[in-house]
Amino acid sequence: MKRVLVAAYYFPPYADVSGTRVTKFCKYLPAHGWQPTVFTVDPRYYGSKVVEGLPPEVATMTVRRIPYLPVPAAILLVKLLFPLLICTAAWQERRHLAAVYLVGSPFHPFVSTVVLTGLLGIPSLLDFRDSWSINPMFSRFRHGWQRYLVRRSRGLIERLGIRHASAVAFAAPGLQAEYAAELPHYRDKFHTIDNGFDPADFTALTPERLSPKPTLIITGKLHFYSARVTVGLLKALGSFPELHFLYVGGEAALIRELARRVGAAQQVTTLAFQPMERVLRLIQGADYGLAVSAARYQVGTKIFEYLALGKPALCLVPHGSAMTTTFAGIPTVLVRPPPHTPASIREGLRQLLACRPGIEPEVAARFSRRNTSASLAGLLDRITCP
């Protein structure tokens, strides 16, 4: 069995979705001839963004964690040093490694390919779960020369990483297309490996309901992507007094306050970060799902959990969103482009409430983590063939 060093700053027990994709790949890679060793950080570097316990699959994985340094600015220091530490770990294991798989975010460690592949000759694979230098969300709070310098420096690091990488994977076809347009010289290195869901996560799942009313749920980011969508949704809820809205994630206090301001507090329940097992139970106990994105290429992971559980989902997305093509023909996924006014969202909710739950077998097979992991293993095989 070939060995791959998986460099992922975010990994369980990190609370956000950033570690989900890589965790599931590491779970299923051994079934396709690859044994991963995860290189990550001590959970204390995540601050308060941790959940209790670890997913069961992590217990069987080989995980190396960078020890916690109790010094000022420890988080910033370790993030800055992470590329160097990846190279050091790869050098130490070079006799046994077939490849290094680097997962963003953060994305600056992608520059490690200059050493890993350019100098050490170890094949490397970059995984863009999201975009970086071309992502407007990462520079929206900077203006003028600051925005210019940040985007230029990120672009330089990104290009260096891609130039020396053996291959580059993207989580959505639209994301791959945007990078191919931005960096046409490297388009032959680019591949799409879809996000998906792990069927094992949904076996023997006990639904958890927090309200007797029909429930619309979203987990993760909402207001971060669009304050306008958040307020518009909360206002639209007033037209559906029979509907309960459940938010789970790091914006719980903010969503609760906004609901109070628009008079929707009685219809809204908010929970802070929860262990993944409970999140899935809450989705199972809900009736409908909500997905929001701010970039055309963005698909995310929560939509796949709704799919797996047969929950109809309303997706409030930009024009030309990758969700339009990714989920074309799937009747339980309602993709609604702008304008996301309260009136438009109300119409989306009316259509959502009329949807029937369920999932077709071919859809379940297409987005199974088992199958997407096979695609990843195939790409690793390709870059390590003599």
pLDDT of 119 higher than 70: yes
Q: In order of start, what are the domains of the chain with their CATH numbers?
A: 2-196+368-384 (3.40.50.2000), 200-363 (3.40.50.2000)
Model confidence pLDDT, tens digit, residues 18-68 = 788 999 999 999 999 999 999 999 999 999 888 888 888 898 999 999 999
Residue whose entry in the numeric block shows the structure tokens 């992608």: 110
CB atoms within 10 A of CB 20: 24
Model confidence pLDDT, tens digit, residues 223-267 = 988 889 999 999 999 999 999 999 999 999 999 999 999 999 999
Three-state DSSP class for 322?
Answer: helix
Q: Are strands 268-271 and 288-292 parallel, antiparallel or unpaired?
A: unpaired
Burial of 238 from C-beta contacts in 10 A (0-12 / 13-18 / 19+): middle
The β-bridge partners of 176 are none
What is residue 19's predicted lDDT score, i.e. its pLDDT?
A: 86
CB 113 within 8 A of CB 90: no
Residue 151: both structure tokens together: 């985007």
What is residue 130's predicted lDDT score, i.e. its pLDDT?
A: 76
Instruction: Name which of 146, 90, 109 is nearest 10 in CA terms.
Output: 109
| Residue ranges of E strands in the chain | 2-8, 34-41, 62-66, 99-104, 124-128, 167-170, 190-192, 215-219, 244-248, 268-271, 288-292, 313-316, 333-336
As a whole number of Å, the end-to-end CA separation of the chain is 16
The C-alpha angle 268, 270, 271, rounded to 5 degrees, equals 155
Backbone angles phi and psi of 181, in degrees to 5: -70, -35
Three-state DSSP class for 192?
Answer: strand
Q: What's the pTM value of the predicted model, to 2 decimals?
A: 0.83
Residue 105, CB-side half-sphere exposure with 13 Å CA sphere: 11
The C-alpha angle 127, 129, 132, rounded to 5 degrees, equals 95
Q: Are strands 244-248 and 215-219 parallel, antiparallel or unpaired?
A: parallel
